[in-house]
Structure formats: C-alpha cells, structure tokens
Structure 1
Amino acid sequence: MTTKRDKGSAINRVLEIIELVANAQSPLSPADISHALAIPKPSVHRLLAQLKQDDFLQINLRGLWEPGNRLYQLSMGVWHAERFKNARQAIMHRLASEVHETCGISIPQGLEMVYYDRVQANWPLQIYLPEGSHTPVWCTSSGKLYLASLTKAKRQKVLEVLPITAMTRNTITDLDALNQELDRIAKSGIGTDNEEFIDGMVACSVPIKDGQGRLVACLYVHAPSLRVSFDKLLEFVPHLQQAAAELAKLDDSEI
C-alpha cells in the first residue's frame, strides 16, 4: 500500500528526485526538478550534487540531469531478481519453441546494446552471443531499433559520435543511407539485420515498451542464414510482438 511521502524527509526527497529523473522523457534542469517536486532550489542543487557524487545521476553537456551508471546498475539488479527472471524466461521459452530459433532481450547502454537475457535454440549450428555481450547500435537489429526510437535531433547527435565501421560487406556505413533505414524502422517498428553485424547471421527485433510507450528493451530473434532466410525470419515478427507485449505487462501482481 502506497502512503503519502513526508516532504520534509531528506531521503524521500532523494528518492523522489531519482524517480523523477528516471521516468523523465528527456534530461531535466534543476529548475524542472524544483518545480515538479516543490523542493527549494538550494536543496535541489545540494541533493543533485550528492547524487552525482554517488553516481546515481549524471549531468550532460547541456547541464541537464539524467540517470547515472549506479542507477542503471540498480535497475538491472531489479530485472535480474529471480521472480522477474522466471516470468521472462517462461515467455521466452515459449517464443523459442514457436520460432525454433534463439531469442533474447537486449537493452541500450550508452552507445552499445547489451544482450541481457536469452533462450538458445536446440540446433547443432549456433551463433554464440552470450548474455552480457556488447554489440554496436548501427548494425544490429536491436541497435537500429533503439536508434529509430529516438527523436531525429537526438538520433543525429548519437550518429555523429558513433564510430561507424563496416562489420560485414552488408553494414550500412553511409549516414544518409543509415538515416533512411532508421526512418523505415521507425515507421514499421521492426528492427532488422541482414548479415550487417556478422556474416551469415540474420536477425530481427521488436520493442518492449514501458507504460508511457517508450522503448526500454528489444526482443530479438537471430539465426544462421544457412538455415533461415532473411524473408523467412520476418515471418516470426507476430510471435515476437505478442511476446514483447506480454513482457511489457509483467509486474509484481502477475509474477
């Protein structure tokens, strides 16, 4: 049962600031935080300085506040909790049995995607990308889906600092062509990788969204192109979308 927070409590103010910044659509200024939480500006600046020192929040180049590495690790710890993992695994095992290929969840972390959870298909020929693998955003299905979810202004800023290099003969390295590809993905809601990251591997992904419709993770399936053609892989998309919708709905009441 949720109770009303004591506005005078320093720890509650800290938690409210963390919650506000974590749920914000974009980085916030100290004035935004002060206004939203009715906390005096001097107190906001003092608490933000402490949260930055402890790495829960960080300040970007525009002087705005966003989640820091420690808050990110905290959120990952919650996702790794056994009761959440069991529910995810049940959904993903069902998905893998439907498509007969390896599927998993990847999450954006900085300028990379991290393979967070996966269920391996039972085939002799496998592509080994274990949990914890870091992959580039410009040539993977999940990475391109993440980039496509950003506003065009933010996307452009990210593209300008990415070390875009050719991973295979199919990697899109031209910025104009990549932007066109990302526009297509933004419209379809389906990320694709036609042997752009690894020669001989095809992949597609769909978003897992939060209650506000924001992409928080990607659900992917990948396979050797010797076994599954790119066009055949896209036939799995309805199964992915159904599983992603179920994953998005997971909460304490359902686990």
Structure 2
Amino acid sequence: MTSGAHDQSEISSRSLRFLLILEEVSRIGVPVTPTEISKNLGLAKQTVHRIFVTLEETGFLQRETDGKHYSAGPRMRTLSLGIMSSVRSRTARLSVMQALSDEIGETVNLVIPDRHNMTYLDRVETNWPLRIELSIGTQVPFHCTASGKLYLSSLPKSRLTPILETRKLERCTDNTLCDPDLLGRELDEIRKRGYSTDNEEFVAGMVAVATPILDANNRMVASLAFHAPTPRMSLEDAVKHLESLQTAAQKLSNILREEA
C-alpha cells in the first residue's frame, strides 16, 4: 500500500470511529461516559476519550454538570433537527398533522426536547380567528407544558431527580406546578397513563394534550400535541380527542422509523 493510500485509509477509519461514537450516543439517548462507549463499541479507552474531547470542542457533544457524562451538543441537535425537517419526511408529517387538525378543529404541534426547553418543530394552525400563536422555533418550559411534562415523565429517575431538585420551576399561571413534589407526582401519573395535559399551566386560558412519538427503540423523541383556548374547549373535552391524537402519533412514529 502506498503512503497516500495508507493515509487515506487511516483518515477513513478515524472518521468512522467518530460517526460510530455519535451514533451510539444517539442510540443510548441519555448522558454517557467515554468508558461506557468504549465498552459498547470495543474501542480503546484512550481513543474514545480523545475523540470525546474533539467532539466536545467542536460542539457535537457537551459535558454534563457532573463533569463525567456527555450528551448531544448544539451541533448534534441541529443536525438531528435538520434530518427531521427534511422535505420528504416533513411533507408526510404535515399531511398527518393537517388531517388531525381538521378532525379536532384546533392547532396541532410537533414538539421536540432540547437541552433546557421544548422546541416547536412543526405546526398546523386552526382556521379559527381566536387562536394562540406559538410559532415554529418557539421554546417552552418543561414543567408547565403538556409536551414538556410528557418528556420529563419519560426520563429515568437518575436524570429526572437532578432536574426537579436543581431547576427553578417558574410560575407562569396560577395553575403552574412549582412544587417539585407535586410535579413529581404528576409525572408519575403521566407515565402510567401514557399522555400528558396542560390545564392552563403555561398560558391562562389555554389547555393542551400531548402524546409521545417513539423511535424504533420505543424511546420518546418528540411529542404530538394540540392546544385550544378554554372559551372553545375545556380540558375534559380536549381529552376526548386522545384516541385520534394517539393514532396520528403512531403514524408519525412509523414515518420516523422509515426514515431511520
């Protein structure tokens, strides 16, 4: 093998290791240590640690507050967002969301978790003149939104407990759950029933219902939700649309799996 061919082979091998590590971090879905990734992939610890340093410096990974674990960084989240927003999948996704919005008669949202908030990725607006505007790209809190509480309920206790213990739960309305214990009990209920609600907890006069969109490993990667002003729909009436919401979420889960 010539020197040039050997160098090219070494670059290709190194690039593959970077991609395999990012893929494994994404597959696990919770903060990981380089040692865990080293064991899972059968790569040398020194190699994995060196790659983690590079991925952190370039923004693809970011270190957690404990200094040992790593999770997806801003560039990796941007990459994921771009994939989910691809023309082909977005066209199919919006078709499902439009059909649901037409059936319910309210605004339908696709919301994804970010590091500190939930982010609106897609939406189909209701035709009603009275509606609550939350545009694509809007970031909303975890603790007082239907999608945010749904995401929190999907986290393992090792990740959820530090959030409830250290994060300030800001009051947005009189109904916002600002007590960590009360919120924790609410999350237990959400985990059992498989869907979440917002009873005027984020915006006074707005109710919402959310259900998860799952990947091939049955891990929540996004939520499908709809919201409505209370003069038009009570929370009790909103929950009556749960079956339609779950059916649409299953269709979106299938679209996501086909794209994977």
**TM-score, normalized by length of structure 2?**
0.91
Name structure 2 gaps, 5 residues minimum: 1-8
SS at match of 1:192: strand
Match of 1:36 in 2: 40
Name structure 1 gaps, 5 residues minimum: 1-5
Equivalent pair of 2:143/2:149 in contact (CA under 8 Å) = yes
1-structure distance, mates of 2:253, 2:83: 15
2:51 pairs with one of 36, 47, 54: 47
Query: 1:153 offset after TM fit, Å?
Result: 3.2
- 2:251 aligned with 1:241, yes or no? no
1:175 pairs with one of 156, 174, 180: 180
Match of 2:130 in 1: 125
Match of 2:28 in 1: 24
Query: 1:220 offset after TM fit, Å?
Result: 0.4
Q: 1:179-215 deviations in whole A, cap 9, x for unaligned? A: 1111111111111111111111010100011111111
Match of 2:3 in 1: none
SS at match of 1:9: helix
Identity, in percent, stands at 40
Q: Which amino acid aligns with 1:74?
A: L
Query: 1:32 offset after TM fit, Å?
Result: 1.9
Q: 1:4-53 deviations in whole A, cap 9, x for unaligned? A: xx897111111101101111143222222222222222221221111111
SS at match of 2:39: helix
Aligned length in residues: 250
Match of 2:139 in 1: 134
- 2:148 aligned with 1:143, yes or no? yes
- Greater percentage in helix: 2
Q: 1:112-164 deviations in whole A, cap 9, x for unaligned? A: 11111000011011111111111111111111111111123321211123221
2-structure distance, mates of 1:40, 1:215: 31
2-structure distance, mates of 1:239, 1:223: 16
Match of 2:228 in 1: 223
Q: Which amino acid aligns with 2:58?
A: D
Q: In structure 2, do the counterparts of structure 1 residues 228 and 80 end up closer, same or farther at CA, with 3 Å as the change threshold?
A: same
Match of 1:154 in 2: 159
Q: In structure 2, do the counterparts of structure 1 residues 224 and 80 end up closer, same or farther at CA, with 3 Å as the change threshold?
A: same
**TM-score, normalized by length of structure 1?**
0.93
Runs of 4+ in 1 over 3 A off after TM superposition: 251-255
